[in-house]
Chains A and B, each alone.
Chain A
């Protein structure tokens, strides 16, 4: 808990729930007649509504991107390092909108919400949501907030995919798309890791085909394993090595299979913590959205062709030790943007933390992000 809030924090914030009663048609063919989105905003929307920035979250993210909910909070929002007064996404200049995506488990309508048709939680009946569906729901959110055009749509990882999708689906509705530590499509290896995670969840005896809510059960073990395998892909060999090495919890080997190495106990702890706060069905849904994302697919695999409608400027950033979505994946995207004659800037940032580097403020990352967003702010008169 902070004794007093840091001066570069957005301070105490509270989420709001926005109800949407206009049906949303989803890529899978189903329609949700009504749904809630939980949203936090930071900063002030200027009179011509030109200074709005949308933050798109990654797999396990949510609407609470910056600031604190109470003075008792141990940690600020998940991207507090980049959002706040004087930070890269400067809340003195921008009006920042951060939401929990549809299908999420932090208040927006998702598998653990009540299905009006049955009066019970949706569970496995909740439709599989795609990145394009999220973007559509975010566009409805923009309508609701009176934002015709975002100054920028920004996201890391799965969030970066949404920033990219925005530029294709609503080209006139954003000036800049900031795609960080992301990829234009998952590789077979990426999908394989997701499948292991899903298998861990669905094979948990407490999963009950996704209707665990009806049984008062939680597939905690499966969710924990899913998170453990996912977590490994977010770190680099070097950062794990530096953090844990081969360090043991006690002095000698015990010739058993309990968590003896520090890295084992760390992963178990992370997995357990996660399994207490995240919904298993949402995890399945999010990983599937990742798998399906492939904007080039409709253009016969030609990403440059798929990018044709885009009119925004792009900033693409990758991190040197990210092996989940490596710099090569970002470069693939950048090259397609170049071929399609889009405006794009790209940098590969040297950072030891693997995929997680997009959440950690290294000097070069902060400098570039600040320089770019400062220019965006000037462009929209913020």
Chain B
């Protein structure tokens, strides 16, 4: 196969699916994820990103952890590094102005740009560069135009495209 990232996915899905189910159900993991989501939302506000960017970052965070294991011992900082990378990649997809890696405030941690970039690349390859995702935000214009008294079905159909 020419797609090494996809090979990795296959591996992970094949033999460790059960373990991940276990990890996802553990309390420490739920806490770690909650912290990550909070940080991502705060960072969105700080840079003035769109909500879609935050949604995408959280989606990347989750699908990364579905495919790859992060050890509990490494967890506090690994989850933060992953969060930074996910927000940065989401901003690159969505935003017109992309902050430099050094502009991210990782809180208690101080990640160098090279580490963040390595993590970005790991996220990109783990997700097979499929960085587009459908989010609830994509449907909002369609619904809102239908609710609007003058926005007929035609306008709704256009926006939905």
Partners in one complex: no
